[in-house]
Amino acid sequence: MVAIKVSSLSKTFQKGSKALNSIDFEIDEGEMVALIGASGSGKSTLIRHISGLMKSDVSGGEIEVLSQSIQINGKLSTGVRKARSEIGVVFQQFNLVNRLSVLTNVLIGLLGQIPTWRGTLGYFTQEEKGLAMQALGRVGIDHLHGQRSSTLSGGQQQRAAIARAITQGAKVILADEPISSLDPASARKVMDTLQDINKEDGVTVLVTLHQVDYALKYCPRTIAMREGEIVYDGPSERLTPQFLEQLYGDASLELLDSETQDDLVVTSLPEQAVA
């Protein structure tokens, strides 16, 4: 079954800049796909459209998630609330309500499924709390359940956001630059967690990444964007530094980690220049 279907999606912001230009792709259930591109290429805009947080141009195409319509030609579909209940979104930051405990933040994943009065009063059953604790255990931070969210490190906050998506029962996770402000060790933990949920539970993951090395390590498929268009959609392993240079020119350096950049500079210098 197709998990995410994007057809002829276009978005023009007010000053006339086209952030998305007739984007088409499909992602099957159970895939883990990287979305890469230099800054400003349209990755976040695309994620916001798929999650129904932003509307496309009028006659700007169509998006379906798990065969449920999210939006058509700039109008959110009537079933978008139900469709959203199956989509977990993890942002780069501002994922959690700082003044609430980690456990309560994770329980927020249930808000779409319980009566409004219970959500408003913050009344959750023991069974629901058990589910949330299990999810926190899954991402390795159950010992932090009672802490205020503001006290967590960046990587722990991302893992709490993933636990919220697990508790929500999300079948699709959209993660928008979940590791871009993290040190390498924390970034690996977050990516390991996403990979675990993808492999063990079959959850479809679309993750935007700034650097291609994480795409190579974790995602069999990469969609690469440039100036609002898809310039590559295929196996991540084909994204060698040389191929990235063909796709992006000088901007490709932004997508490579510093070690790979150094290698490239050395190998591309004339012999006599490498004294």
Ligand X SMILES: Nc1ncnc2c1ncn2[C@@H]1O[C@H](COP(=O)(O)OP(=O)(O)OP(=O)(O)O)[C@@H](O)[C@H]1O
Per rule CB under 6 A, is residue 45 in the interface with ligand X? yes
DSSP 8-state assignment for residue 142? G
Bridge partners, 222 (sequence order)? 34, 234
Q: Give the pair of three-digit tokens for residue 254.
A: 């932004």
- Under a CB-based contact definition with an 8 Å cutoff, are residues 22 and 211 in contact? no
**For ligand X, which is the closer residue by CB, 45 or 198?**
45
Interface segment toward ligand X; rule CB under 6 A; list 33-41, 125-133, 138-146, 240-248: 33-41
Per rule CB under 6 A, is residue 211 in the interface with ligand X? no
Per rule CB under 6 A, is residue 174 in the interface with ligand X? no
**For ligand X, which is the closer residue by CB, 17 or 98?**
17
Interface segment toward ligand X; rule CB under 6 A; list 32-40, 64-72, 101-109, 199-207: 32-40
SS3 content of the chain, % helix, strand, coil (to 5): 45, 25, 30
Tell me the HSE value of 176 on the side-chain side, using a 13 A CA sphere: 21
Per rule CB under 6 A, is residue 40 in the interface with ligand X? yes
Binding ligand X (rule: CB under 6 A), the pick from 1, 16, 39, 94 is: 39
Bridge partners, 54 (sequence order)? none
**For ligand X, which is the closer residue by CB, 40 or 241?**
40
Binding ligand X (rule: CB under 6 A), the pick from 23, 27, 36, 41 is: 41
- Under a CB-based contact definition with an 8 Å cutoff, are residues 215 and 222 in contact? yes
Binding ligand X (rule: CB under 6 A), the pick from 2, 13, 137, 237 is: 13
For residue 14, which phi and psi values (nearest 5 degrees)? Answer: -55, -40
Interface segment toward ligand X; rule CB under 6 A; list 24-32, 38-46, 110-118, 265-273: 38-46
Q: CA separation (Å) from 270 to 15, 243, 245, 262?
A: 44, 20, 18, 15
Q: Give the pair of three-digit tokens for residue 121.
A: 């009063």
Per rule CB under 6 A, is residue 123 in the interface with ligand X? no
The site for ligand X (CB under 6 A) is made up of 13, 17, 19, 37, 39-45
